Copies of this chain bind each other. A is one copy, B any other.
């Protein structure tokens, strides 16, 4: 059976720890601490706290290896990324999401394949794209709309 994949919330600092473990596939605390100390002004104790919280949250799984632990990701990286981004976007005005995505796309380095994949998605959407997406910032019954 696949991982339970609970919907955990990962804070900004915790995200840094997850990226290390996602990238390495697995790691002991020494490795995580060494790598993160090179990227941030964090004390070892700080990183230990973050690891502990991630384990408690269920984002990291542990396997005992002698006196220490091997940590492995308990949630999928791409899924976590998709969800976090989607959640952020969903709390914004529906009418302006497209523009926001355009601005972000513009600022993001994308591989040839990425661009191709994105073009595919968009081309598929072109056919059924509505003339406009309504603002959803006000309650249903409220007549007013964005400018």
Contact = CB atoms under 8 A, between A and B. Distances in A.
A22 to B, nearest CB: 7
A14 to B, nearest CB: 11
Contacts of A88: 84-85, 88
A43 B35 CA distance: 46
Contact of A138 (B20, B81, B92, B141): B20
A23 B138 contact: yes
Nearest to A103: B82
A96 B23 CA distance: 11
A86 interface: yes
A4 interface: no
Most interface-central of A114, A131, A133 (chain B CB within 10 A): A114
Chain A, interface size: which category? 35 or more
Contact of A121 (B12, B81, B102): B102
A114 B130 CA distance: 10
Given A91-B12, A105-B101, A111-B131, A137 B19 contact: yes
Contacts of A2: none
Contacts of A130: 109, 111-112
Contact of A129 (B101, B114, B132, B139): B114
18 contacts: A15-B92, A23-B135, A23-B144, A24-B138, A25-B147, A38-B139, A38-B142, A81-B100, A86-B107, A88-B88, A97-B110, A97-B114, A98-B111, A99-B117, A101-B104, A112-B126, A112-B130, A122-B122
